Amino acid sequence: MLLALELLPHLSVEVLQTFGGLFVLLAISSVIVWLKNQRRFDFSDELTARTVTWWGIVLCLFVAIVASKLTAIILLGVISFFAMREYFHLVSVRESDKPVLIWALLSVPVQFYWVSIGWIGMFLVFIPVYMFILLPTRIVLGGNTDGFVKAVGAIQWGLMTTVFSLSHAAMLVTMPLSETPHVDPVWFSESARLGYGPALLVLLLVLTQLNDIAQFCWGKALGRRKILPSVSPGKTVVGMVGGVCTTVVIAGIVGPWLTVFDLPRALMAGLIVGLAGFGGDVCISAIKRDLGVKDSGSFLPGHGGLLDRLDSLTFAAPLFFHFTYYFYG
């Protein structure tokens, strides 16, 4: 492990151990799926497809984070690009607006460039200010006012959700630990201090995905009362509450060990991720229901499209970032 840390100075031993734990969980899940399918992998089975896809997701993330901080940022940028492309395939836009979509897609490398150089000021205003002004101006220059509000709203929503929101996850990687944080990180080990940014990203992703899984499991096991039947029939009150509570507990256990958070702020971070993740999930569900589609795509076998997997992260990432930045940035 010491040799690994010498070769990977941007990571902490806790990050590597976390990935080790994830691989162990995936291996156990694979064995369970194999036994369920009578000692074979049935790739037509949804559970098998989900498990295989999870292997791919975790491996890609592991390779990217281990390679370098820049590689992790590039991976998230690529994911953001294809998520927005998937979103634009779902929403209907006027023929005159299609050139504007290219402008929106080209904003992805620009936004993630600000992330890569750590320019937090431009990172925070480029899309909410500059692109907010530029895109509708370009749209109106086409001279077509019929459906203008709908077109602007659809494009701006996609840009904010799939690019601006997700870029906050990437910004965690480059966020430096303040020499005078608002809260003294007394729990923070010297090893974890070295991998401060990547550890925050790993914690956010782990909490977000476990929140989804916990809400699903609680809902299936004990959920009876639907919380939003007209938006997401599978969501229940018990599922939401149980998922959020589970996320808070996991954050309280893992957060102080893996990242800069002390116990109270780790619990707060878990609560933020749990509630925000639920909000992102149901909002993306509302979009799909409005458009009359079950899944946003078929990019991830067993899961659907990228937006189906990233829905919770779109709301959780910005809130988690600003919460962390306020106390420790």
304 three-class SS: strand
Residue 34 has a pLDDT of: 83
What are the residue boundaries of the structural domains of the chain, listed by start?
69-174
Cβ distance 319 to 286 under 8 Å?
A: no
The DSSP secondary-structure symbol of 130 reads I
Over residues 17-73, the pLDDT tens digits come to 899 999 999 999 888 888 877 766 665 566 777 888 889 999 999 999 988 889 999
Residue 4 has a pLDDT of: 47
What are the φ and ψ backbone dihedral angles of 46, each rounded to 5 degrees? Answer: -65, -40
Cα separation, 319 vs 274, in Å, equals 11
Q: What is the pTM of this model?
A: 0.91
DSSP string, 66-112: HH-HHHHHHHHHHHHHHHHHHHHHHS---GGGHHHHHHHHHHHHHHH
User: Any idea which residue has 């039947």 for tokens?
Assistant: 229
Question: Which has the closest alpha carbon to 79: 318, 314, 290?
Answer: 314
Rounded to 10 degrees, what is the CA torsion of 132, 114, 310, 129?
Answer: -10
User: Any idea which residue has 């997701």 for tokens?
Assistant: 57
Confidence label for 2 from pLDDT (cuts 50, 70 and 90)? very low
Cα separation, 4 vs 11, in Å, equals 9
For residue 224, what are the contacts with CB-CB under 8 A and spacing of at least 6? 236, 238
Q: Whats the size of the chain, residue-wise?
A: 329
Cβ distance 174 to 115 under 8 Å?
A: yes
Residue 108 has a pLDDT of: 96
Question: Which has the closest alpha carbon to 30: 19, 17, 15, 45?
Answer: 45
Residue with the larger pLDDT of the pair 227 and 192: 227
Over residues 152-211, the pLDDT tens digits come to 999 999 999 999 999 999 999 988 766 556 666 555 555 455 567 899 999 999 999 999
Residue 44 has a pLDDT of: 58
Residue 283 has a pLDDT of: 92
Cα separation, 10 vs 31, in Å, equals 33
Cβ distance 101 to 88 under 8 Å?
A: yes
Least confident of 13-22, 238-247, 264-273: 13-22
The DSSP secondary-structure symbol of 176 reads P
